[in-house]
Amino acid sequence: MENNKRPDSMKRITNETLAGAFIDEQVTLVKKQVGDKKVLLALSGGVDSSVVAALLIKAIGKNLVCVHVNHGLLRKGEPEQVVEVFRNQMNANLVYVDAIDRFLNKLEGVAEPEKKRKIIGAEFIRVFEEEARKQEGIEFLAQGTIYPDILESDGVKAHHNVGGLPEDLKFELVEPLKFLYKDEVRVVGKALGLPDGMVYRQPFPGPGLGVRCLGAITRDRLEIVRESDAILREEFAKNGLEGKVWQYFTAVPDFRSVGVKNGKRTYAYPVILRAVNTKDAMTATVENVPFELLQHITNRITGEVEGVNRVLYDLTPKPCGTIEWE
Protein backbone atom coordinates (compact mmCIF):
# COMPACT_ATOMS: atom_id res chain seq x y z
CA MET A 1 0.00 0.00 0.00
CA GLU A 2 2.92 2.32 0.87
CA ASN A 3 4.13 2.55 -2.74
CA ASN A 4 0.61 3.62 -3.71
CA LYS A 5 0.91 6.87 -1.75
CA ARG A 6 1.98 10.01 -3.55
CA PRO A 7 5.31 11.09 -2.02
CA ASP A 8 4.91 14.17 0.20
CA SER A 9 7.93 15.73 -1.51
CA MET A 10 6.33 15.57 -4.97
CA LYS A 11 5.68 19.04 -6.41
CA ARG A 12 2.39 19.77 -8.14
CA ILE A 13 3.06 19.75 -11.92
CA THR A 14 1.69 23.09 -13.08
CA ASN A 15 3.92 24.13 -15.98
CA GLU A 16 6.01 22.85 -18.86
CA THR A 17 9.29 22.97 -16.93
CA LEU A 18 7.95 20.79 -14.12
CA ALA A 19 6.32 18.50 -16.71
CA GLY A 20 9.67 18.21 -18.52
CA ALA A 21 11.41 17.17 -15.30
CA PHE A 22 8.68 14.60 -14.58
CA ILE A 23 8.95 13.18 -18.11
CA ASP A 24 12.77 12.86 -17.86
CA GLU A 25 12.48 11.12 -14.51
CA GLN A 26 9.79 8.69 -15.73
CA VAL A 27 11.68 7.90 -18.94
CA THR A 28 14.67 6.85 -16.80
CA LEU A 29 12.48 4.83 -14.41
CA VAL A 30 10.59 3.06 -17.20
CA LYS A 31 13.82 2.19 -19.03
CA LYS A 32 15.18 0.78 -15.79
CA GLN A 33 11.99 -1.22 -15.09
CA VAL A 34 11.48 -2.78 -18.52
CA GLY A 35 14.96 -2.80 -20.09
CA ASP A 36 14.69 -4.09 -23.67
CA LYS A 37 11.47 -6.03 -23.03
CA LYS A 38 8.13 -5.32 -24.68
CA VAL A 39 5.21 -3.50 -23.04
CA LEU A 40 1.54 -3.80 -24.03
CA LEU A 41 -0.96 -0.94 -23.72
CA ALA A 42 -4.70 -0.72 -24.40
CA LEU A 43 -4.84 2.67 -26.09
CA SER A 44 -8.40 4.00 -26.09
CA GLY A 45 -7.48 7.52 -27.17
CA GLY A 46 -8.70 8.95 -23.85
CA VAL A 47 -6.46 11.40 -21.97
CA ASP A 48 -4.78 8.95 -19.60
CA SER A 49 -3.96 6.12 -22.02
CA SER A 50 -2.79 8.65 -24.65
CA VAL A 51 -0.39 10.34 -22.21
CA VAL A 52 0.97 6.95 -21.07
CA ALA A 53 1.48 6.00 -24.73
CA ALA A 54 3.33 9.22 -25.58
CA LEU A 55 5.53 8.88 -22.49
CA LEU A 56 6.42 5.25 -23.16
CA ILE A 57 7.08 5.90 -26.85
CA LYS A 58 9.64 8.46 -25.67
CA ALA A 59 11.16 5.92 -23.28
CA ILE A 60 11.14 2.67 -25.27
CA GLY A 61 9.93 3.49 -28.81
CA LYS A 62 8.67 0.46 -30.73
CA ASN A 63 8.97 -1.84 -27.72
CA LEU A 64 5.67 -0.33 -26.67
CA VAL A 65 2.86 -2.20 -28.42
CA CYS A 66 -0.30 -0.07 -28.43
CA VAL A 67 -3.57 -1.88 -29.11
CA HIS A 68 -6.47 0.31 -30.17
CA VAL A 69 -9.76 -1.58 -30.16
CA ASN A 70 -12.43 0.10 -32.28
CA HIS A 71 -15.65 -1.30 -30.81
CA GLY A 72 -17.83 0.86 -33.02
CA LEU A 73 -18.96 2.94 -30.05
CA LEU A 74 -16.40 5.73 -30.34
CA ARG A 75 -17.16 9.31 -31.29
CA LYS A 76 -16.82 10.55 -34.84
CA GLY A 77 -13.17 10.90 -35.85
CA GLU A 78 -11.68 9.29 -32.71
CA PRO A 79 -10.23 6.07 -34.15
CA GLU A 80 -8.81 8.07 -37.08
CA GLN A 81 -7.19 10.52 -34.65
CA VAL A 82 -5.55 7.69 -32.68
CA VAL A 83 -4.04 6.30 -35.89
CA GLU A 84 -2.96 9.75 -37.12
CA VAL A 85 -1.34 10.90 -33.86
CA PHE A 86 0.30 7.67 -32.74
CA ARG A 87 1.10 5.75 -35.91
CA ASN A 88 1.67 8.60 -38.38
CA GLN A 89 3.06 11.37 -36.16
CA MET A 90 4.72 9.51 -33.28
CA ASN A 91 5.76 6.47 -35.30
CA ALA A 92 4.31 4.13 -32.67
CA ASN A 93 3.95 0.39 -32.89
CA LEU A 94 0.15 0.52 -33.10
CA VAL A 95 -2.17 -2.43 -33.63
CA TYR A 96 -5.55 -1.18 -34.84
CA VAL A 97 -8.31 -3.71 -34.29
CA ASP A 98 -11.56 -3.28 -36.21
CA ALA A 99 -13.96 -5.10 -33.88
CA ILE A 100 -17.07 -3.14 -34.84
CA ASP A 101 -19.12 -6.04 -36.18
CA ARG A 102 -18.09 -8.27 -33.29
CA PHE A 103 -19.35 -5.83 -30.68
CA LEU A 104 -22.52 -4.83 -32.52
CA ASN A 105 -23.46 -8.45 -33.20
CA LYS A 106 -22.99 -9.31 -29.51
CA LEU A 107 -25.13 -6.33 -28.51
CA GLU A 108 -27.95 -7.02 -30.94
CA GLY A 109 -31.34 -7.01 -29.21
CA VAL A 110 -29.87 -6.27 -25.74
CA ALA A 111 -31.81 -3.40 -24.18
CA GLU A 112 -30.93 -3.61 -20.49
CA PRO A 113 -28.27 -0.96 -19.65
CA GLU A 114 -26.18 -3.02 -17.21
CA LYS A 115 -26.24 -6.01 -19.55
CA LYS A 116 -25.01 -3.80 -22.39
CA ARG A 117 -22.15 -2.51 -20.18
CA LYS A 118 -21.19 -6.07 -19.18
CA ILE A 119 -21.17 -7.31 -22.77
CA ILE A 120 -19.00 -4.37 -23.90
CA GLY A 121 -16.56 -4.88 -20.98
CA ALA A 122 -16.30 -8.64 -21.44
CA GLU A 123 -15.89 -8.41 -25.21
CA PHE A 124 -13.19 -5.77 -24.77
CA ILE A 125 -11.20 -8.11 -22.55
CA ARG A 126 -11.64 -10.95 -25.06
CA VAL A 127 -10.43 -8.86 -28.02
CA PHE A 128 -7.52 -7.43 -26.04
CA GLU A 129 -6.57 -10.89 -24.79
CA GLU A 130 -6.55 -12.25 -28.35
CA GLU A 131 -4.26 -9.45 -29.49
CA ALA A 132 -2.00 -9.96 -26.45
CA ARG A 133 -1.61 -13.64 -27.36
CA LYS A 134 -0.58 -12.73 -30.92
CA GLN A 135 2.35 -10.66 -29.61
CA GLU A 136 5.67 -12.33 -28.87
CA GLY A 137 7.71 -11.56 -25.80
CA ILE A 138 5.43 -9.20 -23.88
CA GLU A 139 6.38 -9.01 -20.21
CA PHE A 140 4.76 -5.78 -19.08
CA LEU A 141 1.35 -4.16 -19.21
CA ALA A 142 1.13 -0.37 -19.15
CA GLN A 143 -1.94 1.27 -17.62
CA GLY A 144 -3.21 4.82 -17.45
CA THR A 145 -3.94 4.60 -13.73
CA ILE A 146 -3.95 8.08 -12.16
CA TYR A 147 -3.94 9.11 -8.49
CA PRO A 148 -7.75 9.52 -8.14
CA ASP A 149 -8.13 5.91 -9.38
CA ILE A 150 -5.90 4.77 -6.51
CA LEU A 151 -7.68 6.97 -3.96
CA GLU A 152 -11.14 5.87 -5.11
CA SER A 153 -10.64 2.15 -5.66
CA ASP A 154 -8.14 -0.63 -5.31
CA GLY A 155 -5.83 0.97 -7.84
CA VAL A 156 -7.07 -0.95 -10.85
CA LYS A 157 -8.46 1.18 -13.62
CA ALA A 158 -11.77 -0.61 -13.87
CA HIS A 159 -13.03 0.97 -17.08
CA HIS A 160 -9.83 0.01 -18.90
CA ASN A 161 -11.07 -3.49 -18.35
CA VAL A 162 -7.63 -5.06 -18.11
CA GLY A 163 -8.26 -6.29 -14.56
CA GLY A 164 -10.04 -9.28 -16.10
CA LEU A 165 -7.19 -10.78 -18.12
CA PRO A 166 -6.51 -14.48 -17.48
CA GLU A 167 -3.72 -15.57 -15.09
CA ASP A 168 -1.18 -16.41 -17.79
CA LEU A 169 -1.50 -12.89 -19.17
CA LYS A 170 -1.03 -11.11 -15.83
CA PHE A 171 2.01 -9.05 -16.80
CA GLU A 172 3.99 -6.80 -14.47
CA LEU A 173 2.37 -3.34 -14.45
CA VAL A 174 3.91 -0.11 -15.70
CA GLU A 175 1.96 2.85 -14.33
CA PRO A 176 3.93 6.06 -14.80
CA LEU A 177 0.98 8.40 -14.06
CA LYS A 178 -0.18 6.75 -10.86
CA PHE A 179 0.71 9.72 -8.62
CA LEU A 180 -0.70 12.40 -10.92
CA TYR A 181 -3.97 14.29 -10.67
CA LYS A 182 -5.95 14.82 -13.88
CA ASP A 183 -4.79 18.44 -14.37
CA GLU A 184 -1.17 17.29 -14.08
CA VAL A 185 -1.74 14.52 -16.63
CA ARG A 186 -2.96 17.19 -19.07
CA VAL A 187 0.13 19.39 -18.48
CA VAL A 188 2.39 16.36 -19.08
CA GLY A 189 0.40 15.45 -22.22
CA LYS A 190 0.85 18.98 -23.59
CA ALA A 191 4.59 18.83 -22.88
CA LEU A 192 4.77 15.51 -24.75
CA GLY A 193 3.29 17.19 -27.83
CA LEU A 194 -0.18 15.63 -27.84
CA PRO A 195 -2.87 17.71 -29.61
CA ASP A 196 -5.22 19.85 -27.49
CA GLY A 197 -8.21 17.84 -28.70
CA MET A 198 -6.75 14.81 -26.96
CA VAL A 199 -5.31 16.47 -23.86
CA TYR A 200 -8.41 18.54 -22.97
CA ARG A 201 -10.92 15.89 -24.00
CA GLN A 202 -14.11 15.79 -21.91
CA PRO A 203 -14.91 12.62 -19.94
CA PHE A 204 -16.22 9.78 -22.10
CA PRO A 205 -17.66 6.58 -20.61
CA GLY A 206 -15.85 3.28 -21.29
CA PRO A 207 -18.93 1.79 -23.02
CA GLY A 208 -18.91 4.91 -25.20
CA LEU A 209 -21.87 5.75 -27.40
CA GLY A 210 -23.35 2.41 -26.34
CA VAL A 211 -24.91 4.10 -23.28
CA ARG A 212 -26.19 6.98 -25.43
CA CYS A 213 -27.91 4.82 -28.03
CA LEU A 214 -30.73 3.98 -25.61
CA GLY A 215 -32.25 0.53 -25.40
CA ALA A 216 -31.13 -2.12 -27.88
CA ILE A 217 -28.40 -0.65 -30.11
CA THR A 218 -29.16 -0.46 -33.81
CA ARG A 219 -26.72 0.72 -36.47
CA ASP A 220 -29.04 3.46 -37.75
CA ARG A 221 -29.56 5.01 -34.30
CA LEU A 222 -25.86 4.63 -33.48
CA GLU A 223 -25.08 6.73 -36.56
CA ILE A 224 -27.65 9.30 -35.40
CA VAL A 225 -25.90 9.53 -32.00
CA ARG A 226 -22.46 9.83 -33.62
CA GLU A 227 -23.45 12.44 -36.21
CA SER A 228 -25.54 14.58 -33.84
CA ASP A 229 -22.75 14.46 -31.22
CA ALA A 230 -20.28 15.68 -33.86
CA ILE A 231 -22.56 18.62 -34.72
CA LEU A 232 -23.03 19.50 -31.04
CA ARG A 233 -19.26 19.40 -30.44
CA GLU A 234 -18.55 21.48 -33.54
CA GLU A 235 -21.06 24.15 -32.51
CA PHE A 236 -19.85 24.26 -28.91
CA ALA A 237 -16.28 24.72 -30.15
CA LYS A 238 -17.30 27.48 -32.58
CA ASN A 239 -19.24 29.29 -29.86
CA GLY A 240 -16.61 29.25 -27.11
CA LEU A 241 -18.28 26.56 -24.98
CA GLU A 242 -15.76 23.77 -25.58
CA GLY A 243 -13.43 24.52 -22.68
CA LYS A 244 -16.21 25.98 -20.51
CA VAL A 245 -18.74 23.15 -20.25
CA TRP A 246 -17.64 20.00 -18.37
CA GLN A 247 -19.47 17.41 -20.46
CA TYR A 248 -21.88 17.58 -23.39
CA PHE A 249 -23.27 14.96 -25.71
CA THR A 250 -26.38 13.65 -27.43
CA ALA A 251 -28.52 10.59 -26.70
CA VAL A 252 -31.11 8.88 -28.91
CA PRO A 253 -34.15 7.01 -27.51
CA ASP A 254 -35.51 3.84 -29.04
CA PHE A 255 -38.86 5.25 -30.09
CA ARG A 256 -40.02 7.45 -32.94
CA SER A 257 -42.58 10.23 -33.19
CA VAL A 258 -44.54 11.92 -35.93
CA GLY A 259 -43.20 14.99 -37.70
CA VAL A 260 -43.44 16.74 -41.05
CA LYS A 261 -40.79 17.55 -43.67
CA ASN A 262 -41.24 19.02 -47.16
CA GLY A 263 -45.00 18.69 -46.76
CA LYS A 264 -44.73 14.97 -45.97
CA ARG A 265 -45.37 13.15 -42.74
CA THR A 266 -42.28 11.64 -41.09
CA TYR A 267 -41.91 9.02 -38.40
CA ALA A 268 -38.43 9.51 -37.01
CA TYR A 269 -36.22 9.60 -33.88
CA PRO A 270 -35.74 12.47 -31.42
CA VAL A 271 -32.23 13.55 -30.39
CA ILE A 272 -31.65 14.65 -26.78
CA LEU A 273 -28.96 17.26 -26.07
CA ARG A 274 -27.23 17.23 -22.68
CA ALA A 275 -24.67 19.78 -21.39
CA VAL A 276 -23.67 19.78 -17.72
CA ASN A 277 -21.17 21.23 -15.28
CA THR A 278 -19.81 19.48 -12.22
CA LYS A 279 -16.71 19.17 -10.04
CA ASP A 280 -16.78 15.46 -9.26
CA ALA A 281 -19.66 14.03 -11.35
CA MET A 282 -21.60 13.25 -8.13
CA THR A 283 -23.88 16.25 -8.67
CA ALA A 284 -24.26 18.36 -11.79
CA THR A 285 -25.98 21.51 -13.02
CA VAL A 286 -27.28 22.18 -16.50
CA GLU A 287 -25.40 24.64 -18.74
CA ASN A 288 -27.42 27.71 -19.64
CA VAL A 289 -26.86 27.39 -23.40
CA PRO A 290 -28.09 30.47 -25.34
CA PHE A 291 -31.50 29.77 -26.84
CA GLU A 292 -30.40 30.93 -30.33
CA LEU A 293 -27.56 28.42 -30.26
CA LEU A 294 -29.94 25.62 -29.23
CA GLN A 295 -32.18 26.60 -32.16
CA HIS A 296 -29.22 26.61 -34.55
CA ILE A 297 -28.06 23.17 -33.35
CA THR A 298 -31.63 21.88 -33.69
CA ASN A 299 -31.82 23.13 -37.27
CA ARG A 300 -28.48 21.57 -38.14
CA ILE A 301 -29.29 18.17 -36.60
CA THR A 302 -32.78 17.91 -38.12
CA GLY A 303 -31.44 19.18 -41.46
CA GLU A 304 -28.24 17.14 -41.67
CA VAL A 305 -28.82 13.89 -39.80
CA GLU A 306 -30.94 11.29 -41.56
CA GLY A 307 -33.82 9.85 -39.51
CA VAL A 308 -34.28 12.71 -36.98
CA ASN A 309 -37.35 14.95 -36.69
CA ARG A 310 -37.07 16.47 -33.19
CA VAL A 311 -34.37 17.81 -30.88
CA LEU A 312 -34.85 18.17 -27.10
CA TYR A 313 -32.68 19.88 -24.47
CA ASP A 314 -32.46 18.03 -21.15
CA LEU A 315 -32.95 20.57 -18.32
CA THR A 316 -32.54 18.07 -15.47
CA PRO A 317 -29.77 18.54 -12.90
CA LYS A 318 -28.12 15.62 -11.07
CA PRO A 319 -29.90 14.68 -8.88
CA CYS A 320 -32.57 13.77 -9.82
CA GLY A 321 -31.24 12.84 -13.26
CA THR A 322 -27.86 11.24 -13.81
CA ILE A 323 -25.45 12.75 -16.33
CA GLU A 324 -25.82 9.88 -18.80
CA TRP A 325 -29.23 8.51 -19.77
CA GLU A 326 -28.25 4.90 -19.08
Q: For residues 161 and 11, what is the distance between their CA atoms, to the nearest angstrom?
A: 31
> Is residue 148 involved in binding ligand XMP (CB under 6 A)?
no
The answer to whether the beta carbons of residues 74 and 210 sit under 8 Å apart is no
The answer to whether the beta carbons of residues 90 and 54 sit under 8 Å apart is yes
Residue 26: how many other CB atoms lie within 10 Å: 20
- Please, which residue, 189 or 206, has the CB nearer to ligand XMP? 206
According to CB under 6 A, which residues from 298 to 317 bind ligand XMP? none
> Is residue 17 involved in binding ligand XMP (CB under 6 A)?
no
> Is residue 45 involved in binding ligand XMP (CB under 6 A)?
no
According to CB under 6 A, which residues from 262 to 301 bind ligand XMP? 281
Helix (H, G, I), strand (E, B) or coil at 217: coil
> Is residue 29 involved in binding ligand XMP (CB under 6 A)?
no
The answer to whether the beta carbons of residues 55 and 209 sit under 8 Å apart is no
> Is residue 151 involved in binding ligand XMP (CB under 6 A)?
no
Backbone angles phi and psi of 260, in degrees to 5: -145, 135
> Is residue 156 involved in binding ligand XMP (CB under 6 A)?
no
- Least spacing, CB of residue 126 vs ligand XMP, in Å: 18
Tell me, letter by letter, the H, E, C secondary structure of 295-309. HHHHHHHHHHCCCEE
- Please, which residue, 264 or 279, has the CB nearer to ligand XMP? 279
The answer to whether the beta carbons of residues 248 and 276 sit under 8 Å apart is yes
- Please, which residue, 13 or 199, has the CB nearer to ligand XMP? 199
DSSP conformational letter for 30: H
- Please, which residue, 79 or 205, has the CB nearer to ligand XMP? 205
Q: For residues 90 and 132, what is the distance between their CA atoms, to the nearest angstrom?
A: 22
Identify which of 70, 64, 46, 57 has the alpha carbon closest to the alpha carbon of residue 23: 57
**Between 224 and 263, how does the x/- string for binding to ligand XMP read (CB under 6 A)?**
-----------------------x----------------
> Is residue 79 involved in binding ligand XMP (CB under 6 A)?
no
Choice from 205, 221, 270, 287 touching ligand XMP (CB under 6 A): 205
**Applying CB under 6 A, which residues contact ligand XMP?**
117, 159, 203, 205-207, 211, 247, 281, 318, 322-324
